[in-house]
Amino acid sequence: MAELPSGTLIEAAIMIAWVVLILGVGLWARKRIKTSGEFMVGGRSIPVWMLGMWSAGATVSAWAFFGLPGGIYVSGAWQHWSLCVPMIIGMPITVLILGRWMRISAKKYNLMTMPDFIGEVYSGKLIRIFAGIGIVIGCVFYATAQFKAIGVLFGTLFNLPYVPAAMLGIAVSVFYILLGGFVAGAIINTLNVSMMIVASVVAIGVSYIWSGSYSGMLSALAAMSGGAGWLNIDAALGGTGWLFWGSWVLILSSFGMVGQPAIVQKLYGIKKPNTLWIWGLLGGLLIGLTCPAYCYMGEVTRYLAILDPSINTQIMGLGFGADGVVAWLCVYKLGAEAPVLGGLLIAGVVAAAWSTIDGFVMMAGAAISRDIINKCFRPNWTDKQLLKYLRISMLAVGILMVIETLFPAEIITWLAAIGWAQFAATLAPALILGVLWKGVTKDGGTAGVFVGMVVTFFLTVMYRLPQSSLVPYGMGTAGFMKAFYLDAGAWGFILGFITIIVVSLVTKKQRGPLYYDIHKDVANPDLKPV
């Protein structure tokens, strides 16, 4: 590893100050948490603008701030529009499909998690268990991407090996969320997203300084050797660029966003239901700023590396492959030229990771202790016991994530995509059909959640990951799509959707109480006439 520029001392000081601030908020919030409801949804009294910022941060996360520039550097600028546009429209459409019912039914049914909502629409223990398992699987994959980003960046900045650097990031996030729960997460992630916005503005500014106009840079790239292929989606990912784009739109746009618990569960905490539209609008605007900004950095780095081939050698010399792009930019280039800006960028990337990690630790812990154990097997737990076991489960999930982080099978962008796909395939079909289609049944919803969860996990592990361990930079994903034409998560989503419809058409019309609140024109057989 090359010698660190002297300016990295300034960058390290900025990062240490940020960590101290984050831990301080966690300690402050600890004294204000008395019940499991306050821990998990903040007593449903969080301002909508704060939750909108948190949800946007969870949507973008480290895969966009760290992994996406690396993916663009290697695979091409076509990802700029194909990934960012579906994300920008996803949150507003989620509000239109699901937001109203998520929020107005929260108090009546004491909803705190996504399996809560599904359980009250479809009824039954099995659907809660399957949804909870799918959430834990998705959380582990997605959080691994965040921890890997922190490990790469901290390792480069503090000259540490990857493993202890990643564990340092894990320790900070688990510590503050175990202490302060939803309240700490809301406050800390308002700070995190504010830093992400600052970092995005910095990214746009320094990228323009290095490359000049955006259109001029792309024209220069197209004129250079290999540039046209790098810009052309027809040639991307070994000829599977359009297949990837179709899968990604299906998973990330209106349908897939509905199934992302790290984002949608924030709706439970909004103070005033009539402000839901602000959540969707604010989220879309913030994603529209932050995601393209870091795409820009990946394109600019590719441009600089073509002008000076030694840059590629330096990036790959860090030992992280394409994931070394942002680490090199922040630590080596800005550390030498503008360390204060480099420190802000580093804080922005880490903030993006932390804005997601805490939500996943909470979700996976709640899926185990509340959705599966408490709701299905130990209904007599007191609130104090539930709060205790929530924290224990979250700690156990953190340990599991540590183990998974030691063996990351793909680069950060693809790890996040696997987690996102698992959420979408497991949860989104049941949520969408439960709200929009009167024909759903308890057995149909249960079967659909199970099929989406199992198909996505099976295809990911049995076909996608082994290929990716042999072929770098996400080409395992391309290999999968060459054989199966869609991403593993897209197949899980489609088959889960079809399963719900088919099974519902041939099974008894059993539903949960929330189903009849949503579809008021369907008679509830459980209500006795007065």
Phi, psi of 99 (to 5 degrees): -55, -45
User: Mean pLDDT over residues 47-64, rounded?
Assistant: 76
The answer to whether residues 472 and 493 touch, using CB atoms and an 8 Å cutoff, is no
Q: Is the pLDDT of residue 427 over 90?
A: yes
User: Mean pLDDT over residues 91-103, rounded?
Assistant: 84
Mean model confidence pLDDT for the chain: 80
Sign of the alpha-carbon dihedral angle for 484, 487, 489, 495: negative
Helix axes 214-223, 162-211, angle to 10 degrees: 100
Task: Give the CATH number, domain containing residue 183.
Answer: 1.20.1730.10
pLDDT reported for residue 439: 96
Burial code (b: 16+ CB inside 10 Å, e: under 16) for 452-461 equals bbbbbbebbe
Q: What six digits make up the tokens of 41?
A: 């949804």
Domain assignment of residue 510, given as a range = 8-518
SS3 46: strand
Establish if 88 belongs to a structural domain. Answer: yes
Segment 453-511, tens digit of pLDDT = 999 999 888 776 665 554 444 556 667 777 788 888 899 999 999 999 999 999 999 99
What is the residue whose two structure tokens read 């991307």? 236
More confident site: 144 or 445: 445
Segment 171-220, tens digit of pLDDT = 777 666 665 555 556 676 677 778 778 878 888 888 888 888 888 888 88
Distance CA 72, CA 230 (A): 9
Establish if 29 belongs to a structural domain. Answer: yes
In angstroms, what CA-CA distances link 372 with 138, 361, 391, 394? 16, 16, 15, 14
More confident site: 49 or 511: 511
Amino acid sitting at position 421? A
Establish if 2 belongs to a structural domain. Answer: no
Sign of the alpha-carbon dihedral angle for 302, 303, 306, 310: negative
Q: What six digits make up the tokens of 369?
A: 């202790």
Q: Is the pLDDT of residue 432 over 60?
A: yes
The answer to whether residues 38 and 32 touch, using CB atoms and an 8 Å cutoff, is yes
SS3 45: coil
SS3 270: strand
Establish if 96 belongs to a structural domain. Answer: yes
Listed residue (498, 488, 489) closest to 463, CA to CA: 488
The answer to whether residues 23 and 253 touch, using CB atoms and an 8 Å cutoff, is no
Q: Is the pLDDT of residue 287 over 60?
A: yes
Instruction: Count CB neighbours of 73 within 10 A.
Output: 27
Establish if 159 belongs to a structural domain. Answer: yes
Burial code (b: 16+ CB inside 10 Å, e: under 16) for 401-421 equals bbebbeebbbbbbbbbbbbbb
Phi, psi of 34 (to 5 degrees): -115, -25
User: Mean pLDDT over residues 133-152, rounded?
Assistant: 83
Listed residue (73, 100, 128) closest to 442, CA to CA: 128
Question: What total of structural domains would you count in the chain?
Answer: 1
User: Mean pLDDT over residues 393-411, rounded?
Assistant: 72
Segment 295-323, tens digit of pLDDT = 888 888 988 988 888 998 988 888 877 77
- Return left, alpha or beta for 10; rule: phi > 0 is left, psi -120 to 50 is alpha, else beta: alpha
pLDDT reported for residue 513: 93
Q: What six digits make up the tokens of 252?
A: 């990330």
User: Mean pLDDT over residues 248-277, rounded?
Assistant: 78
Q: What six digits make up the tokens of 243?
A: 């297949």
Distance CA 130, CA 137 (A): 11
Quote helix, strand, coil % in the chain, to nearest 5: 85, 0, 15
The answer to whether residues 183 and 26 touch, using CB atoms and an 8 Å cutoff, is no
Establish if 529 belongs to a structural domain. Answer: no
Q: What six digits make up the tokens of 24?
A: 């301080």
Got the DSSP string for 288-320? Answer: HHHHHHHHHHHHHHHHHHHH-THHHHHHHHTTS
pLDDT reported for residue 2: 63
Establish if 1 belongs to a structural domain. Answer: no
More confident site: 329 or 244: 329
Listed residue (242, 135, 142, 230) closest to 487, CA to CA: 242
pTM: 0.84
Strand partners, 270: 46
Q: Is the pLDDT of residue 117 over 90?
A: yes
Terminal-residue alpha carbon distance, the chain: 78
pLDDT reported for residue 448: 97
